[in-house]
Structure 1
């Protein structure tokens, strides 16, 4: 048996890990889209590094596009197997994949207009909306904490990862030549004090562990400061500068957290009376999916539901549907808050909002989560004074803020707590994925001091034999 790392290897995007058994049976863990990788992005998404038709089964940890976004291409290239994931992940993946396809079609059309003027050949989207819809019959809803027999030699268990609604850690029991090996894949690990979700669950002892490491060398700001920090930016931008506060936010997880905190401020009567626009049809649909799975909520939120039937709604909240309504926001000079996808600001409507408002000193752009350094959000967060958007250069005149307390990824303490249920002496190899290389090097040092004997940071497409 061996494993090959085809994505999220020394980077935080494009999650894809391929386990191949001695009999040739192939298990793909996640099939994510690379995002924010600059000029390399298209080539990385075009080439899997394996033959899609050879994959027997796909196991999806959660619905975020950097973990699920290449599934339509996988199917288009010949994959016909089952896709195992939790019920909430099925609901989210259906809308996220269709939205991803729509964004690709729209952005490709936008770019191709410019390419045509320059006499350049047109680009083709990676997949279409029709391709995304063709994936749906392959999903197999799999509940948490239930061993599922995949075939005669492979069993699957999901435990709650606490990252987004439906997110799971993947646990495989694989029998080869009369011996069972246990492989666990963390997916993305959530936080132990999340305002909406349950904490990551304990899980069975593993022989091999594939673990995300996004924040393996840092600690987040306290969650209890989030509402106050958000209020500061709304007040400063909308009330004092009379401008627009633009917040790039992932449609799943981050948007619902923002709405939760804004609702809290509204209940306390401290939220300024300015319109708050969620400019993303996907965010509206995702919020409805989140509401439909209250069994995943933590006990605190379940208690809040007893007196506030909708903790994601408040006065002056408006969801934007059509493209025309979205464009109208850029012509509207009134103070407002615009929450829009994507979270890294590298695609979708938020990219257009930033392009149209970045050169006005009245406005602010608030980054509320992780951004790959080469993404538009990453470049703004790192203080670049000029950024390239849709092949045009823009001076960064608007104020850029960063709020680190809202990450859905666990920090160093959370990652260590996640590992607390494991005996390091029984882990043959721990593979660090989904992280920047310098962060992973620091995290590996700390893990080895905790007793993990072999901590490996695989390279892209690296193949490693499991003894």
Structure 2
């Protein structure tokens, strides 16, 4: 049995996670994410995704962020009709992420066509996919709860462990059985041919005889692989800590988004948020928060709820202006099995909703969104997209970024070349929706909101899991500088066998 791995995305870059695990030429795809960055570059990269669907045996989805699930509908368009495995919460969140993307693309196509017509220009751009493609993708998702095992092929068993990143996020653990390359073959007595055929059809392995112990009792004939997806952090609100109870893996494919950075202490998060809110109250300004609709929006609302509840900030209007974030918040309320003990206690025992309170108003329509720009501060507006490359956040930035009384609060990772990254890095003038705007608003960052483990947290997690069989760590989903730093840091901390996955290279796993 020949086992190899390679990446079709998120190799020496962040976003666009698409990884292939190949077993004797049969391909399992881990995540099928869209690339996020500059609009033209993202559109080009996402359109170039043309992996042959008939080569994919199954798809495993680690979580529902767009850069991990956003091209599943494209895979459907290419003819994939197999199973997509995900946790129940991931299925529900991925459904709204894909649908939201399809609707945004449809609106963009309509808007751009009108603009081209006004200018007398030809217009040929089409959406990557439509809502029907999203429905097909959602219909092919089979759910698997945490710590439950399922054979996704006769010789491949899948088990999900909680990644602690967002609701439903998972560490995908694969156990591959069967004779591997260079493995010694031993002749054995077997049961009757009929029983043998049935066993092999079900599990892809031979049935041991009654007098012969199974060769797999100690895992010696197994190959174990762990894909982290996006690895979360300990002691984050709402969701549980990243799991550490999985069996010892032979190889780990680990994300490295924050491979060269450390987060601020989580304990300082509420203090920093309180300071920003009080500053906006004093200046009667607006706080504009570009946020991802899933996880970040709910976490910020959770913290604001606590601050109001503890009377550390007064009640001021808080608007969640993202239809997807509103829908995602509803899904967060449904999947209480993913909550940590503190949230379980608040939500279940005391019936307190951590995602909604009197100050919070949900905005769904375009007209309601436009009205926010006419209102005076102080107020807080949370709006998607988190990297400021699309969505309603662009209009809020355009209307508010030049006012020195306002605050642009950055609470998440900004990829290279995105508008959010340019604002964060202090550019004095930025282009938004085709026009240039002076950046007079104050730009502040609270980094402890991040749902990605930093380099110390990633290393601490590795030290907590069983690495007795570990042969190598492969780094994916990170920028080159971050990955180089993390590789060195891991070597200094007892993990010398680390390789950075490069696009186009295939790695043998034995």
The TM-score, its normalising length taken from structure 1, stands at 0.95
- 2:333 matches 1:332: no
Q: For residue 413 of structure 1, give the secondary structure of its aligned residue in structure 2.
A: helix
Q: 1:109 to 1:355 in 2, by over 3 A?
A: farther
Q: 1:127 to 1:100 in 2, by over 3 A?
A: same
Contact 1:216 1:411 in 2 (8 A): yes
- Please name the residue that 2:30 is paired with: 29
Contact 2:11 2:502 in 1 (8 A): yes
- Please name the residue that 1:20 is paired with: 22
- Picking from 125, 136, 139, the partner of 1:137 is 139
- 2:357 matches 1:314: yes
Q: After superposition, where does 1:63-462 map in structure 2 within 5 Å?
A: 63-118=64-119, 119-177=121-179, 179-202=221-244, 203-237=246-280, 239-305=281-347, 306-307=349-350, 309-422=352-465, 426-462=469-505
More displaced stretch, 377-386 vs 413-422: 413-422
CA distance in 1, matches of 2:255, 2:309: 37
- Please name the residue that 1:62 is paired with: 63
CA positional deviation for 1:354: 0.9
Cα-to-partner distance string for 1:37-60 (whole Å, 9 max, x where unaligned): 454211110122522332110000
CA distance in 2, matches of 1:439, 1:234: 32
CA distance in 1, matches of 2:386, 2:320: 13
CA distance in 2, matches of 1:235, 1:107: 37
CA distance in 1, matches of 2:117, 2:6: 40
Contact 2:30 2:61 in 1 (8 A): yes
Contact 1:7 1:461 in 2 (8 A): no
CA positional deviation for 1:242: 1.6
Contact 2:260 2:481 in 1 (8 A): no
Q: Tell me which structure has the larger Cα radius of gyration.
A: 2
- 2:465 matches 1:464: no
Aligned CA-pair RMSD:
1.7
Cα-to-partner distance string for 1:106-165 (whole Å, 9 max, x where unaligned): 233333433444424242111112221221210001011111111211110100001011
Contact 2:247 2:466 in 1 (8 A): no
Contact 1:169 1:187 in 2 (8 A): yes
Contact 1:246 1:338 in 2 (8 A): yes
Cα-to-partner distance string for 1:343-387 (whole Å, 9 max, x where unaligned): 112111112211222122222110101111211111111111122
CA positional deviation for 1:449: 2.6
CA positional deviation for 1:407: 0.5
CA distance in 1, matches of 2:484, 2:466: 21
Give structure 2 stretches of 5+ with no counterpart. 181-220
Q: For residue 103 of structure 1, give the secondary structure of its aligned residue in structure 2.
A: helix
Cα-to-partner distance string for 1:156-178 (whole Å, 9 max, x where unaligned): 01000010110000011113435
CA distance in 2, matches of 1:392, 1:465: 50
CA distance in 1, matches of 2:108, 2:405: 28
More displaced stretch, 391-400 vs 174-183: 174-183
Q: For residue 443 of structure 2, give the secondary structure of its aligned residue in structure 1.
A: strand
Contact 1:111 1:390 in 2 (8 A): no
How many residue pairs were aligned?
465
Q: For residue 272 of structure 1, give the secondary structure of its aligned residue in structure 2.
A: coil
CA distance in 2, matches of 1:38, 1:324: 25
Q: For residue 506 of structure 2, give the secondary structure of its aligned residue in structure 1.
A: strand
The TM-score, its normalising length taken from structure 2, stands at 0.88
Contact 1:2 1:19 in 2 (8 A): yes
